[in-house]
Amino acid sequence: MSSYISNERPQPDKVLTDIVDYVLTYEINNDLAWKTAQYCLLDTLGCGLEALTYPACTKLLGPVVPGTIVPNGAKVPGTSFQLDPIQAAFNIGTIIRWLDFNDTWLAAEWGHPSDNLGGILATADWLSRTAVANGKPALTMKVVLEGMIKAHEIQGVLALENSFNSVGLDHVILVKIASTAVVGKLIGLSREELVNAVSLAFVDGHSLRTYRHSPNTGSRKSWAAGDATSRAVRLALIAKTGEMGYPSVLTAKTWGFYEVLFKGNEFTFQRDYGSYVMENILFKISFPAEFHSQTAVEAAMTLHEELAKLGRTTAEIKRITIRTHEAAIRIIDKKGKLDNPADRDHCIQYMVAVPLLYGRLTAADYEDHIAADPNIDVLRGKMECVEDPQFTSDYHDPAKRSIANALTITFNDGTALKEVIVEYPIGHGRRRVEGIPELLKKFRINLARRFPEKQQQKILDLSLDYDQLVNTPVNEFTDLWAS
């Protein structure tokens, strides 16, 4: 007995067409989304400037072939590089993500939607410079903000109920999907071409999470998003040539994404695409730390001050209990030797120990010269993470989306300090009034790392004026950021 497989080409999977129709037709009318995108743009680029102070990052930057010149290429903020849009996207995406200090989205899957700015800004800049060279108008920064809002939404909505980490895939797959869709619109793909492009992104090879977890944690996690957003630009350009797509890339029997990579499960969706994610994005304002630890670090800073007031030292501590949520335990609860900065900034015990000892947590505190302090590992050894089911429930609750941590210090003499609970970090939507001034302070500090005062002021004058910013040609905006 024989059977045959139908060779009739199916209609595109609904997941593909929903993304494409959203990107092509949805109008963003929410003022909060637009204004938050402005702050997100500034914070994201500021994070990139700080990353440029680290040789481990800058060694990866520049053209693939040294000396390559791209006259109408995209500029990489904070550098003198002007590159083709694919390599520019890698460069921008890498500096954005290097220090784990840009925005975050937490749900069934987590990630950093501003990673998509690598592809968006590089493509918009290249298109603008090419247009101007041909006597045509450039794109404006409003187009960049729109791309950011839509990329945030695609990545964030896909993440709400679909856990890619649980099947071993890294969350940068969502950067590749979102960037492909938004960049595809920027370069003028038709609906059919854009469906093809997004299908190419899904059928592509995807990163394993190996580099984020013991015993292999390493620096690829700092450039993986740059790789994903640059790959998205490449796939969108391939689709523009008329290259075919794969309409049932998700649902195809045996060979589709769901069966091969998602344990046979289809994606589920909590909500339609709009501007929800940008409106509720989580900013990393105070600490360059994996987001599930942000509230723990805040609590540790409070306890550092309390210890100082009482005249007590960390040497007197017998035990530190970290009451936390399930995702934190799964991702950043680490025992044993930490091999490098990438390992340390994903260890909640390390990120609590440093502020308890020093009253701070900066990107430099993950480097070897700080990690060599034996007191850090002594404190780490006294810590225990315990899941609080209510914290886990509130983490997943759409109305709350808290990222709660609570710390209790017990001393050798049996006494204990009152537990310090922080449910929402300063970068959470519930603390926007408190957070935005601190975010802008962070932005100013980052500008000062790279630019002379006069150039800093020009960037500030433009960037903080929303109406002026959205009407500025993209190439003129990026020219201000050249170093």
- How crowded is residue 208: how many other Cβ atoms within 10 Å of its Cβ? 12
Cβ contacts of 58 within 8 Å, gap of 6 or more: 52
3-state secondary structure 436-467: HHHHHHHHHHHHHHHCCHHHHHHHHHHHCCHH
pTM exceeds 0.85 for this model:
yes
Which phi and psi (to 5°) does residue 473 adopt? Answer: -60, 140
pLDDT at 27: 98
Q: Which two tokens stand for residue 344?
A: 């340390």
pLDDT in tens, 22-57: 999 999 999 999 999 999 999 999 999 999 999 999
pLDDT in tens, 290-304: 889 999 999 999 999
pLDDT at 1: 45
pLDDT in tens, 117-168: 999 999 999 999 999 999 999 999 999 999 999 999 999 999 999 999 999 9
Calculate ∠ Cα 158-193-15, nearest 5°: 25
Mean pLDDT for 69-94 is: 97
What mean pLDDT, rounded, does the chain reach? 96
pLDDT in tens, 284-338: 998 888 889 999 999 999 999 999 999 999 999 999 999 999 999 988 999 999 9
Quick one: pLDDT band at residue 3, thresholds 50, 70, 90? low
d(CA 188, CA 209): 33
Instruction: For residue 71, give the DSSP letter.
Output: T
Rounded to whole angstroms, what are the CA distances from 357 to 22, 246, 334, 339, 466? 49, 55, 19, 20, 41
Closest CA to 40 of 160, 138, 147, 127: 147
Closest CA to 354 of 405, 309, 303: 303
Q: Are 88 and 122 in contact (CB under 8 A)?
A: yes
pLDDT at 398: 82
pLDDT at 342: 87
The kind and range of the H/E element at 410 are strand 405-411
Rg of the chain over CA atoms, in angstroms?
Answer: 23
| Position 4 pLDDT exceeds 60 | no
**Which residues are bridge partners to 405 per DSSP?**
422
d(CA 185, CA 329): 39
| Position 5 pLDDT exceeds 90 | no
Question: Exposure pattern of 225-253 as b/e (b: 16+ CB <10 Å)?
Answer: bbbbbbbbbbbbbebbeeeebbbbbbbbe
Lowest mean pLDDT, pick from 5-9, 161-165, 283-287, 355-359:
5-9
Mean pLDDT for 185-210 is: 97
pLDDT at 401: 86
The kind and range of the H/E element at 349 are helix 348-358
- How crowded is residue 92: how many other Cβ atoms within 10 Å of its Cβ? 35
d(CA 349, CA 319): 12
Rounded to whole angstroms, what are the CA distances from 103 to 119, 317, 431? 16, 34, 15
| Position 2 pLDDT exceeds 60 | no
| Position 100 pLDDT exceeds 70 | yes
Q: Cα dihedral sign for 9, 11, 12, 14?
A: negative
| Position 182 pLDDT exceeds 80 | yes
Quick one: pLDDT band at residue 214, thresholds 50, 70, 90? confident
The kind and range of the H/E element at 123 are helix 117-133
Closest CA to 76 of 63, 65, 66: 63
Helix residue ranges per DSSP H, 3-111? 14-25, 31-51, 55-58, 85-97
d(CA 444, CA 461): 12
- Higher-confidence residue of 217 and 263: namely 263
Cβ contacts of 309 within 8 Å, gap of 6 or more: none
Cβ contacts of 78 within 8 Å, gap of 6 or more: 48, 49, 52, 95, 450, 481, 483
- How crowded is residue 317: how many other Cβ atoms within 10 Å of its Cβ? 21
- Find the Cα–Cα–Cα–Cα dihedral 286, 292, 297, 298, rounded to 10°: 70
Closest CA to 44 of 99, 88, 108, 3: 99
**Residue matched to tokens 């209790």:** 408
**Which residues are bridge partners to 321 per DSSP?**
384, 408
Quick one: pLDDT band at residue 368, thresholds 50, 70, 90? very high
